[in-house]
């Protein structure tokens, strides 16, 4: 049985052992790479939103515009493959970009069931305006590390995504 004296001793014993800042939740959760990757992803979204707030643009929207600037006319399936997005998410992002008039869509000449996406003049203008902010967001995300460690982190991160690439199209909507 634990007496009152024992209980009141506990904080003092913790202080003596240097454990007064010990946080069991942090200890457990922060040892899970999946937990840390989710937090870093949120951090990137938050920094990106700050840097690109003038156009209310998300990283995924900017990624789709980037892909279309390099390969104009991609259809929805191709965009999903390039960006690692499932069908529902890709459709949703394309719809938002079209509503903002940053892309237009037209029937695919070789396959009437699919549609090609193209960046509009307004889309190119917005991309140009946001490019510095997007780059700044990437730099701020890694800024806490030394240049050498930034390089190592990016290399290992890229290895992990490459090796697990087949798994990276999980639906974004079922994440809660």
Contact set with a second copy (CB under 8 A): 24-26, 28-30, 32-49, 58-61, 63, 66-67, 70-71, 82-84, 89, 92-93, 96, 134, 137-138, 141-142, 144-145, 149, 152-154, 156-165, 167-170, 172, 174-176
Six-digit token string for 25? 């939740």
- DSSP code string of 148-172: HHHHHHHHHHHHHHHHTGGGTT--G
Six-digit token string for 40? 């870093």
Based on CB atoms, which residue is closest to a second copy, 9 or 23?
A: 23
Based on CB atoms, which residue is closest to a second copy, 13 or 28?
A: 28
- Closest separation in Å from C-beta 82 to a second copy: 5
- Closest separation in Å from C-beta 91 to a second copy: 10
Cα 43 from Cα 59, distance rounded (Å): 12
- Closest separation in Å from C-beta 12 to a second copy: 21
Cα 13 from Cα 51, distance rounded (Å): 46
CB 60 within 8 A of CB 93: yes
């Amino acid at each position: 049985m634990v007496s009152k004296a024992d209980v009141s001793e506990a904080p003092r014993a913790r202080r003596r052992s240097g454990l007064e800042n010990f946080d069991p939740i942090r200890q457990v959760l922060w040892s899970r790479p999946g937990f840390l990757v989710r937090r870093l992803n949120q951090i990137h979204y938050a920094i990106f939103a700050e840097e690109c707030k003038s156009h209310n643009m998300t990283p995924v929207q900017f990624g789709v515009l980037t892909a279309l600037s390099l390969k104009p006319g991609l259809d929805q399936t191709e965009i999903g493959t390039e960006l690692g997005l499932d069908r529902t998410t890709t459709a949703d992002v394309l719809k938002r970009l079209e509503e903002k008039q940053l892309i237009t869509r037209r029937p695919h000449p070789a396959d009437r069931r699919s549609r090609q996406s193209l960046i509009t003049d307004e889309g190119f203008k917005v991309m140009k305006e946001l490019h510095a902010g997007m780059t700044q967001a990437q730099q701020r995300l890694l800024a806490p590390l030394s240049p050498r460690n930034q390089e190592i982190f990016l290399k290992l991160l890229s290895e992990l995504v490459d090796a697990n690439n087949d798994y990276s199209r999980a639906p974004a909507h079922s994440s809660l």
